[in-house]
């Protein structure tokens, strides 16, 4: 984090592409726009930008409270999905010459353009605003391609012909880009696909592109489906009640999974001393969150294994290929704490399409829904090559 002496210089210097000062502590949109602009680093400074909260434009102390709620809100921009791809930033409360400040240090993204609410923000000198089509093109050219995760690398053998461009234009593009930007858009389809990380700079589709708008994702990603099996009783046997393979693009998989859950969750009447209510065997929200997590965060590289959804009379089991990733370990998987993303491009797409509310909250939301419905807590088992969760029916 920046030193006190350098921070003093930023407080009295003119606002530039490296610093923005504000006395407001409640304008989350303004904070997000500034973070987005610094992450895009249009001038290519390759150095952090600073959002300083608690001072006026001229650097005078505003005397506003810098509390834990504000710091948590600022830190949340790292992973809550309001800014995508996820920005790299640090947040600190500083007291400088008896003035309390919140200082957000934002590092340039390896994978621009970075968006907030479907818009790309940039900063040139003191100006912060929307990126023009030419500026977005410059940002795309700045990507550090060698550092990108698997879901944003080119897929061998795939071509632009393997993408359903009509689905892209009618379903994904309006979900990912603000309507005002689309109205002003003067970019061709190639530039749009590139900016949204659906193709590589070589023009070859990425795994994210194939999973968002591919004509046949499994032709290139063999395990890109969910295998559903329902057995009678409590163990795997020769008799199968139902068996389905749920494939296709991400939006089709999610919708078919929702329909599948609705059909298989049974309901019964729970009678109290003075009331009676309808109680499902499983809360739909909990199973939705857990299955969607399995699809979004699974390993798609070098495996033909699908996500497995196995339904027994008194429990549901979900198995996802790929063990814990990044900052998440076998010991900490499923527990509150750090989150990480094996497929950040696919996670961004799921958020754009409305299948994710807030990143990093899915397991917590599932736990809460199970408690409210009277189910036991979920049981997680994380191994190096897979993650397994068991959900027991409400007693």
d(CA 195, CA 217): 20
Residue 138 lies in a domain: no
47 with 174, same domain: the answer is no
Confidence of residue 273 (pLDDT cuts 50, 70, 90): low
| Terminal alpha carbon distance of the chain | 52
H-only helix segments in 4-162: 4-12, 28-40, 68-76, 133-141
Residues 75, 177: one domain? no
In a domain, 75, yes or no: yes
CB 258 within 8 Å of CB 288? yes
User: Are 236 and 353 contained in the same domain?
Assistant: yes
Q: Per the structure block, which two tokens stand in for 54? A: 């608690």
Q: Output the CA–CA distances (angstroms, integers) from residue 267 to 52, 239, 374, in the order listed.
A: 53, 24, 13
User: Residue 391, SS3?
Assistant: strand
Same domain for 98 and 11: yes
Mark which of 181, 198, 219 sits at the end of a domain.
Answer: 219
Query: What pLDDT is stored for residue 282 in this prediction?
Result: 96
Using the 3D structure, point to which of 94, 127, 160 is the last residue of a domain. 127
Length of the chain in residues, anyone? 395
List, in order, residues 6 or more apart from 279 with CB less than 8 Å away. 267, 268, 269, 270, 373, 374, 394
Calpha distance 390→205 (Å, rounded): 35
CB 1 within 8 A of CB 92: yes
Query: Exposed, middle or buried: residue 96 (CB in 10 Å: 0-12, 13-18, 19+)?
Result: middle
Residues 235 and 382 in one domain: yes
pLDDT at 328: 75
Of 98, 127, 156, which marks where a domain is finished?
Answer: 127
pTM of the model: 0.80
**Residue 137 falls inside a structural domain:** no
> How many angstroms from the chain centroid is the CA of residue 309?
22
Query: What are the backbone angles phi and psi of residue 41, rounded to the nearest 5°?
Result: 50, 55
Instruction: Give 151-178 pLDDT, tens digit per residue.
Output: 999 999 999 999 999 999 999 999 998 8
On the question of pLDDT at 186 being above 90, the answer is no
Does 207 map to a domain? Answer: yes
pLDDT at res. 341: 78
279: domain range?
226-392
* CATH number, residue 259: 3.30.565.60
Domain at 104, CATH number: 3.30.950.30
Count of structural domains within the chain:
3
Average pLDDT, the chain: 89
Q: Are residues 188 and 240 in the same domain?
A: no
CA distances from 393 to 259, 277, 310, 311, 377 (A): 19, 17, 13, 11, 10
């Amino acid at each position: 984090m920046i030193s006190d002496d350098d921070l003093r210089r930023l407080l009295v210097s003119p606002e530039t592409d490296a610093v923005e000062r504000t006395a407001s502590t409640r304008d989350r949109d303004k904070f997000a726009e500034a973070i987005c602009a610094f992450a895009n680093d249009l001038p290519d400074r390759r150095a952090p930008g600073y959002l300083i909260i608690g001072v006026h434009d001229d650097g005078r102390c505003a005397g506003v409270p810098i509390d834990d709620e504000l710091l948590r809100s600022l830190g949340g921009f790292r992973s809550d999905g309001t800014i995508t791809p996820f920005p790299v930033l640090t947040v600190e409360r500083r007291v400088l010459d008896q003035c309390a400040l919140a200082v957000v240090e934002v590092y340039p993204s390896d994978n621009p353009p970075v968006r907030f609410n479907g818009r790309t923000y940039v900063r040139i000198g003191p100006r912060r605003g929307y990126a023009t089509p030419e500026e977005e093109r410059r940002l795309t050219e700045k990507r550090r391609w060698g550092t990108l995760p698997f879901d944003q690398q080119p897929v061998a053998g795939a071509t632009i012909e393997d993408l359903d461009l009509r689905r892209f234009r009618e379903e994904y593009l309006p979900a990912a880009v603000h309507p005002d930007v689309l109205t002003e858009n003067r970019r061709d389809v190639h530039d749009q696909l590139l900016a949204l990380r659906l193709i590589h700079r070589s023009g070859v589709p990425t795994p994210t592109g194939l999973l968002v708008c591919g004509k046949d994702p499994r032709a290139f990603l063999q395990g890109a489906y969910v295998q559903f099996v329902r057995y009678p009783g409590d163990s795997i046997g020769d008799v199968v009640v139902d068996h389905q393979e749920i494939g296709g693009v991400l939006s089709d998989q999610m919708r078919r999974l929702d329909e599948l859950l609705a059909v298989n969750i049974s309901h019964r009447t729970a009678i109290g001393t003075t009331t009676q209510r309808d109680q499902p065997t499983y809360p739909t929200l909990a199973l939705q969150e857990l299955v969607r997590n399995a699809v979004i965060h699974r390993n798609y590289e070098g495996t033909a294994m699908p996500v497995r959804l196995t339904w027994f009379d008194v429990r549901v089991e979900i198995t996802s290929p790929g063990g814990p990733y990044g900052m998440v370990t076998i010991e900490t998987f499923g527990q509150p704490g750090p989150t990480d993303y094996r497929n950040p491009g696919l996670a961004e797409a799921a958020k754009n399409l409305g299948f994710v509310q807030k990143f990093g909250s899915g397991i917590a939301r599932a736990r809460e829904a199970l408690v409210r419905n009277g189910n036991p807590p979920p049981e997680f088992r994380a191994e190096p090559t897979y993650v397994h969760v068991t959900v027991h029916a409400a007693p």
